[in-house]
Amino acid sequence: MSARGSIDDLASSHPLGGQLPAVYAEDDFAQRFVEGLDVVLAPLFNVLDCLEAYFDPALAPEDFVDWLTGWVGTELDGTESIEVRRHAVATAVSLHRVRGTALGLARAVELAFGVRPEIAESGGATWSGRPLGPFPGTPRSYLQVTLRVPDPSTVDLYRLQAVVAAARPAHLPFTAEVSGKTLTHEGN
């Protein structure tokens, strides 16, 4: 993981020596003193000069991408590759737009595990030109998410449960399974 700090021989984009009053322009002590401050302030000015790049997931430093994943509310646990974390930040708004829907759930699971899940649910929507039409779906609420992978032992079932719990409609009990391994969650 990278971290920002002092960078050897990084010149300040705003050196203080030239901004001092004229009386200090020829003062060797004053110039050396503010050069020391320039070394401390140079990384700060560098970050401020490039601030917009820090909020672009494709350009941001890795540790800042990790901070952004929490800031935008992604469903990641921090073990994903940097490419997946960058993609999660870049697509967070579109995922939040469909959160609580089958599409949003499928995208969240696919982002976390790299596999599109099979989703079965009890809900539905319909319209009728006449009152008292039949209700769609089934009377008993359920959600079943199945992740089919070549080797089920490579998938953390509790991680799958956490992703489904975060991306599902809040009121809906669910079952999460990985090609045979099952975990059921009733209630909220």
CB 89 within 8 A of CB 82: no
Express each pLDDT in 92-143 by its tens digit: 989 889 988 899 999 999 988 889 999 999 877 788 888 887 778 788 889 9
Give percent of the chain with pLDDT exceeding 90.
28
Stretch among 6-10, 14-18, 21-25, 152-156 having the lowest mean pLDDT: 6-10
Q: Is 23 exposed, middle or buried (0-12, 13-18, 19+ CB in 10 A)?
A: exposed
Domain boundaries, the chain: 19-49, 113-188
Q: Per-residue pLDDT for 179 more than 90?
A: no
Question: Residue 172: how many CB atoms within 10 A of its CB?
Answer: 18
Instruction: Count CB-CB contacts under 10 A for residue 178.
Output: 23
Beta-sheet strand order (sheet of 143-147): 118-121, 143-147, 174-178, 181-185
pTM over 0.75: no
Q: Which two tokens stand for residue 25?
A: 């322009």
